[in-house]
Copies of this chain bind each other. A is one copy, B any other.
Amino acid sequence: MITGELDLCEVNLINAAMVRQAQGQMLDEATATRLADLFQALADPTRVRILSALWVGELCVCDLAATLGMSQSAISHQLRTLRQLGLVRRRKDGQVVYYSLDDEHVSGLFSQGLEHVRHQTDMP
């Protein structure tokens, strides 16, 4: 058992070689944060429902609000989040703003996540 060489914590090491290997493999802080931010965008039921509603095609804000049964303001705030992460696209037509799915990766993430969720039989 080897004493930790990190000054950040006083934890002991079980397998120093594995730790070094893991440190090399592990995502750096910045990349981990950006990846976490992406998943964070999908980590809310309202945003998930918005994205699944946009599957049928572009929808304007008020139709999205009606579809979800939520206020225009709440939907608009969430669309801002989705837009900032590049998951939805805007198209303005007069005073109506249409939103649609922007990223092809989203569909992959979405279906893969759904597959995971639907294969879970023991979830509460």
Interface of A with B (CB < 8 Å)? Answer: 4, 6, 8-9, 11-15, 18-19, 21-23, 25-27, 29, 31-40, 42-49, 52-57, 59-60, 62-72, 86, 96, 103, 105-106, 108-110, 112-117, 119-120, 123
Contacts and interface: CB of A to CB of B under 8 A. Distances in A.
A13 B116 CA distance: 34
B66 A9 contact: yes
Nearest to A47: B36
B9 A65 contact: yes
A120 B67 CA distance: 30
B25 A56 contact: yes
B48 A44 contact: no
B36 A39 contact: no
B117 A112 contact: no
Given A27-B48, A36-B48, A8 B70 contact: yes
Given A36-B45, A62-B11, A68 B26 contact: yes
